[in-house]
Amino acid sequence: MSVLGDIWNVCWRELKRFRRQPARILMSIVQPIIWLALLGNMMQAITPMLGSGVKSYLDYMAPGIVVMTTIFGGVFGGLSVVWDRRLGFLNKMLAAPISRSAIPIGKMIASSLISSIQATLILCAAIVMGVNVATGPLGIVAVVLIAMILCLMLSGISLALGAVIKSHETLMVVMNFLTMPLMFTSNALFPKSLMPGWLQTIADWNPITHTITPIRTITTQGWEWALILPDVGAIIVMTLAVIAVATLVFKRSIS
């Protein structure tokens, strides 16, 4: 299948580039670890309000921080297409007989794979800091897989914007503008049940919430499939839709 081959080639390049930039890997996990250490201790007092089964705020927020890392990885996924356009690499790929869709899809998969490394590292750091994962090693794998789906979605949005915006400065500003509201209107750091009604409604529509809820169930409660599957199903559907739209937008931007 040459399309799959093309996707892999685009992806391979991004992964190689990532591996050559150790500073990028380091910086991408240092910040979330600081958040874990700071917030985890600062907010310890609200633990009793988090509902049954949650032993510490750190346990509660760890999934939120893992997802935050994936958000950061995902929202900047579109930058590479802006740079490729600017430096002429995009034209080089387009001049070759490769599938047009392979370029955005390969880049999305690459950001998702990169974020899986980051998510794994953060989760391991959290475990070292005392976070307990109820489902064990298999749970870690499941958490990382769910985080990867979210990363695919966000990098798709970023890529579609990048294909249209064409300026990395503007794209950075737009994506930065999206990141924080996405975080704080979700249940990443704060339980939905304690939010005001209007914020709960927003949180219900926020894909971040639907990523964090199953992850949190897996780490704090166990394999409660009835709580896990609907949310995971929802983000998979959303992600597929985003991939389709992003690919379409990208193809339009180059014709």
Partner 1 sequence: MSTSIIKTENLTKIYSGNIKAVDNASFEVEEEEIYGFLGPNGAGKTTTILMLITLLKPTSGRATVCGFDITKEQAKVRSSIGYVSQDTAVDENLTGRENLLLQGHFYHLPKEVLEKRIDEVLEMVDLTDRANSLVSTYSGGMRKRLDIAEGLIHRPRVLFVDEPTLGLDIQTRHKIWEYIQRLREEAHMTIFLTTHYMDEADKLCDRISIIDYGQIKVVGEPNELKSQIGGDIITLKFTNETNSYTNQALAEIKKLSSIENIVPTKDSFSVVAKDGETTVPKIFEVAGKAGATIESISLKRPTLDDVFMAHTGRELREETSNKEDLMKERIRIRRVRM
Which CB atom, from 13 or from 192, has the smaller least distance to partner 1?
A: 13
Vertex 155 angle, CA 149 and 156, to 5°: 90
According to CB under 8 A, which one of 17, 167, 180, 181 is a site residue for partner 1? 17
Could you tell me how far CA 114 lies from the centroid of its own chain?
Answer: 10
According to CB under 8 A, which one of 3, 26, 73, 87 is a site residue for partner 1? 87
According to CB under 8 A, which one of 1, 45, 52, 96 is a site residue for partner 1? 96
Contact (Cβ atoms closer than 8 angstroms) between residue 89 and residue 150: no
CB of 115: closest distance to partner 1 in angstroms? Answer: 19
Both tokens assigned to 38: 């700071």
20 binds partner 1 (CB under 8 A): yes
Looking up tokens 């007989």, which residue turns up?
A: 97
Which CB atom, from 96 or from 128, has the smaller least distance to partner 1?
A: 96
Distinct helix (H) and strand (E) counts, the chain: 11, 0
Number of residues that bind partner 1 (CB under 8 A): 25
35-43, 96-104, 147-155, 209-217 -> range binding partner 1 (CB under 8 A): 96-104
170 binds partner 1 (CB under 8 A): no
255 binds partner 1 (CB under 8 A): yes
d(Cα 202, Cα 177) in Å, to the nearest integer? Answer: 17
Which CB atom, from 102 or from 212, has the smaller least distance to partner 1?
A: 102
d(Cα 201, Cα 73) in Å, to the nearest integer? Answer: 26
In the Cβ-directed half-sphere of 131, how many Cα atoms lie within 13 Å? 34
52 binds partner 1 (CB under 8 A): no
145 binds partner 1 (CB under 8 A): no
According to CB under 8 A, which one of 4, 21, 176, 201 is a site residue for partner 1? 21
196 binds partner 1 (CB under 8 A): no
Residue 20: partners with Cβ closer than 8 Å, 6 or more residues away:
none
251 binds partner 1 (CB under 8 A): no
DSSP 217: I
Rg (CA), the chain: 18
Which CB atom, from 55 or from 252, has the smaller least distance to partner 1?
A: 252
Q: How many Cβ atoms from other residues are within 10 Å of residue 21's Cβ? A: 11
Which CB atom, from 87 or from 194, has the smaller least distance to partner 1?
A: 87
94 binds partner 1 (CB under 8 A): yes
Which CB atom, from 52 or from 255, has the smaller least distance to partner 1?
A: 255
d(Cα 233, Cα 79) in Å, to the nearest integer? Answer: 28
d(Cα 72, Cα 90) in Å, to the nearest integer? Answer: 24
130 binds partner 1 (CB under 8 A): no
List residues binding partner 1 (CB under 8 A). Answer: 2, 5-6, 9, 12-13, 16-17, 20-21, 83, 86-89, 91-98, 254-255
